[in-house]
């Protein structure tokens, strides 16, 4: 048995993966969160399900206008899949994205 196997296994809860995926989505240029309950901007809306070593992610984001929605969602999907897999060791099976709002571009 290897040293890593002797230490045990690491399991990720859905909530932890959800929070990480939501944060990672907003690292992409032109992507923002969605309005919160009190009218202020929250983070990306997200739900993740972990099944063994595999996760699926659903995101709701805003995209800054006039950026391409198609190019931006492709960038988000690739970034979340790559970074989430690298940080957690989980296989990211699917990343579904809903653009819930187009925003005027803001200076970051």
Among 33-47, 69-83, 87-101, the range scoring the smallest mean pLDDT is 33-47
Residues 21, 90 contacting (CB under 8 angstroms)? no
Residue appearing with tokens 């060791």: 89
Task: Supply the CATH number for residue 78's domain.
Answer: 3.30.70.1350
What is the structure's pLDDT at 7? 74
Alpha carbon distance 10, 90 (integer Å): 10
Domain, as residue range, for 21: 12-104
What is the structure's pLDDT at 44? 84
Alpha carbon distance 74, 71 (integer Å): 5
Q: Express each pLDDT in 27-58 by its tens digit.
A: 999 998 877 655 556 778 999 999 999 999 99
Q: Is residue 35 part of a domain?
A: yes
């Amino acid at each position: 048995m290897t040293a890593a196997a002797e230490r045990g296994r690491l399991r990720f809860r859905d909530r932890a993966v959800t929070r990480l995926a939501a944060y990672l989505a907003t690292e992409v240029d032109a992507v923002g969160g969605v309005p919160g309950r009190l009218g202020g901007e929250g983070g990306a809306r997200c739900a993740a399900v972990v099944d063994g070593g595999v996760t699926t992610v659903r995101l709701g984001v805003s995209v800054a206008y006039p950026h391409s929605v198609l190019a931006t969602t492709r960038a988000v999907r690739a970034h979340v899949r790559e970074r989430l897999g690298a940080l957690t060791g989980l296989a990211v099976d699917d990343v579904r994205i809903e653009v819930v709002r187009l925003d005027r571009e803001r200076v970051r």
